[in-house]
């Protein structure tokens, strides 16, 4: 009881409570930043998947028909991809891609296809 009357217990309890709240808030902040990073990573991986799928489909169309359609649109479950092919210049043909995710994100990219091998040579993502 003597320690309590001199005021030792209250400041010690207050310091312990402040330390606990400090560590708790640090862990909450870390958890929130990890969740944000996971969400951003998921969005980027979806974008890459849709671009890769579209390029593979266009390569198949290019190989089977011999030419690329001037314009096209491919619908996915969570996105729409539209593309527009420029006229061939020499042995290369430039194609512009626009990805519209259902979450509202729009990403633009450009690809250069080789008309001899009918494969993608160069890829550039614009934003």
In angstroms, rounded to a whole number, what is the distance separating the alpha carbons of residues 64 and 60?
6
Per-residue pLDDT reduced to its tens digit, 88-102: 888 899 999 999 999
Which helix (H) or strand (E) is 15 found in, with range? helix 9-65
Average pLDDT over the chain, rounded to an integer: 89
How much is the pLDDT for 66? Answer: 81
pTM, two decimals, is 0.77
Distance, CA of 39 to chain centre: 9
């Amino acid at each position: 009881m003597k320690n309590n009357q001199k005021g030792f217990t209250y400041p010690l309890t207050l310091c312990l409570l402040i330390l606990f709240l400090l560590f708790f808030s640090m862990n909450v902040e870390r958890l929130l930043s990890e969740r944000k990073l996971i969400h951003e990573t998921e969005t980027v991986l979806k974008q890459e998947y849709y671009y890769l799928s579209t390029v593979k489909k266009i390569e198949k169309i290019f190989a089977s028909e011999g030419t690329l359609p001037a314009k096209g649109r491919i619908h996915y479950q969570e996105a729409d991809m539209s593309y527009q092919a420029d006229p061939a210049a020499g042995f290369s043909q430039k194609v512009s891609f626009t990805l519209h995710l259902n979450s509202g994100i729009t990403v633009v990219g450009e690809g250069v296809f080789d008309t001899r091998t009918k494969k993608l040579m160069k890829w550039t993502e614009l934003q």
